[in-house]
Amino acid sequence: MTMTREDQKQIFGIKWVGRKRFQALITHFDSVEELKRAPVEDLASVPYMRMDIALKVKEALK
């Protein structure tokens, strides 16, 4: 399953998510809801992500 355009806009709109992180996140997760449910450690393990950025992304998606 691929992420909807709406989900993609929501992720790309996050301050700390540029082109590389955006591509890595939409490749790794199928939806914003899946990303929201994922443990922060899973986000941090995605290429181009770090723990501090993963925490900020989780906070931005609340």
What residues contact residue 19 under an 8 Å CB cut-off, 6+ apart?
none
Q: Which CATH architecture has domain 5-60?
A: Orthogonal Bundle (1.10)
pLDDT of res. 1: 58
pLDDT of res. 59: 94
Tens digits of residue pLDDT in 17-61 = 999 999 999 999 999 999 999 999 999 999 999 999 999 999 999
Q: Where are the alpha helices (DSSP H) in 1-62?
A: 5-12, 19-28, 32-37, 40-44, 51-60
pLDDT of res. 2: 73
pLDDT of res. 62: 87
12 pLDDT tier (thresholds 50, 70, 90): confident
Neighbours of 51 (CB within 10 A): 12
**pTM for this model (two decimals):** 0.84
